[in-house]
Amino acid sequence: MKRFVTRRDFLAMSAKGVGAVVVSYGLMGCHSDDDETISGQFLQGVASGDPAADAVILWTRVTPDKPGDITVSWEVATDSDFTDVVTNGQTVTNDSRDYTVKIDAVGLVAG
């Protein structure tokens, strides 16, 4: 029997440090549109909050290897292998935002 993780389960696991792993897989890639690639790491983990019936706010911070704009691609999936991606997107962060990333993951299924 396949069990799906509900948003309530996800938030409970996030509070215990389990759900952050699932989200951070989707936050592992960042790059720059410049000729020189700027890479970064996610050393602070991922936090979530302000849950709604069909959305949740996710945020993290990129630790860049050098200053500049970084495009972060993100995904939210129902499984840890990310075979069932339910929402995704891209956002740009830089030193003016202290390399923080805050997204509103919408289009989620209630419950």
- Please give the Cα distance from 87 to 75 (Å, whole number): 6
Answer whether residue 19 is part of any domain: yes
Model confidence at 24: pLDDT above 80: no
User: What number is the average pLDDT over the span 24-37?
Assistant: 48
CA 92 to chain centre: 13
The DSSP letter of residue 33 is S
CATH number at residue 14: 2.60.40.380
Answer whether residue 72 is part of any domain: yes
Number of independent structural domains in the chain: 1
Answer whether residue 22 is part of any domain: yes
Answer whether residue 2 is part of any domain: no
Answer whether residue 11 is part of any domain: yes
Answer whether residue 1 is part of any domain: no
Say what the pLDDT of residue 45 is.
84
Write the pLDDT tens digit of every residue in 55-97.
899 999 998 888 999 988 888 888 888 888 888 999 999 999 9
Calculate the CA dihedral of residues 30, 47, 14, 73 and round it to 10 degrees: -20
Model confidence at 31: pLDDT above 70: no
Question: Whole domain around residue 25: which residue ranges?
Answer: 7-106
Answer whether residue 111 is part of any domain: no
Model confidence at 19: pLDDT above 60: no
For the full predicted model, state whether its pTM sits above 0.85: no
